[in-house]
């Protein structure tokens, strides 16, 4: 038994950059055919071209994950294009940070729509095929913020906490069909999203991390690869923190 995804078909959302890109690259390198999904066409095309250049099967797709009907249609198309869907990595996410005093309804609703409803939409669209095949892996990207909260991120924390609840509930419902559902909760990871932090905030985060370094998208993708493989066949309903010990 090994970290091989040979013969598997994987869908990765938010795959045009950062953690999602690295997950798509890792899955591909392990032998999976990958559907690279992103709201930005140029980003999806670029990652797909990188994967194709390495000789792997890949298709780029443009999608707003918050659009339920569009996600249903897209997953039907992916099933046709790739021959099925075995692995789903719900990674798409955004931030609209603001203190509660100033947070608008749109800022709250949009983060919930993309980060939480998007994961529901793709899970709903993909799991029936997995049930039929009696094999599946669903990996939801949560965040330590969903477990510890953070000032100025009530919307993001609520969405990521919701992801954890969705993960555990889906894991209980789908376990009898040999479908595992787990969440990965990154801490402070070096991505375009965290680059927006000012130097003082960045230094404060690093000071609070026992390993004293910022995590990388590769750190998160490696955990996702394990959860997608046969090595994790007895792991479900779990929240795996990849945070350098930030939250213990």
Catalytic residue numbers, as ranges: 156
Identify the CA nearest to 182 among candidates 216, 132, 233: 233
Cβ contact 69:47 at 8 Å: no
CB-count burial class (<10 Å; 0-12, 13-18, 19+) for 2: exposed
CB-count burial class (<10 Å; 0-12, 13-18, 19+) for 181: buried
Q: Can you point out the beta strands (E) in the chain?
A: 9-13, 33-38, 58-62, 87-90, 136-141, 179-186, 239-242
3-state helix, strand, coil in the chain (%, to 5): 50, 15, 35
Q: What is the token pair recorded at 133?
A: 């095949």
Rg (CA), the chain: 17
Residue tagged 């609703």 (tokens): 109
């Amino acid at each position: 038994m090994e970290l091989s995804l040979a013969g598997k078909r994987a869908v990765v959302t938010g795959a045009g950059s950062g953690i999602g890109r690295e997950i798509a690259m890792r899955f591909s390198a392990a032998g999976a055919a990958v559907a690279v999904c992103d709201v930005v066409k140029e980003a999806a095309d670029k990652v797909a071209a990188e994967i194709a250049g390495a000789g792997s099967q890949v298709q780029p797709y443009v999608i707003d994950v918050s659009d339920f009907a569009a996600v249903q249609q897209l997953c039907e198309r992916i099933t046709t294009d790739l021959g099925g869907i075995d692995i789903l990595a719900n990674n798409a996410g955004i931030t609209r940070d603001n203190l509660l005093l100033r947070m608008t309804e749109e800022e709250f609703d949009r983060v919930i729509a993309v980060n939480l409803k998007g994961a529901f939409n793709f899970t709903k669209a993909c799991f029936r095929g997995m049930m039929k095949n009696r094999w599946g892996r669903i990996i939801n990207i949560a965040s330590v913020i969903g477990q510890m909260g953070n000032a100025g991120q009530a919307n993001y924390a609520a969405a990521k906490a919701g992801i954890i609840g969705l993960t555990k509930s889906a894991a209980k419902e789908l376990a009898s069909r040999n479908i595992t559902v787990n969440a990965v909760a990154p801490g402070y990871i070096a991505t375009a999203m965290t680059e927006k932090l000012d130097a003082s905030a960045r230094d404060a985060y690093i000071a609070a991390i026992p390993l004293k370094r910022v995590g990388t998208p590769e750190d998160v993708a490696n955990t996702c690869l394990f959860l997608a493989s046969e090595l994790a066949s007895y792991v479900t309903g779990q929240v795996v923190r990849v945070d350098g010990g930030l939250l213990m």
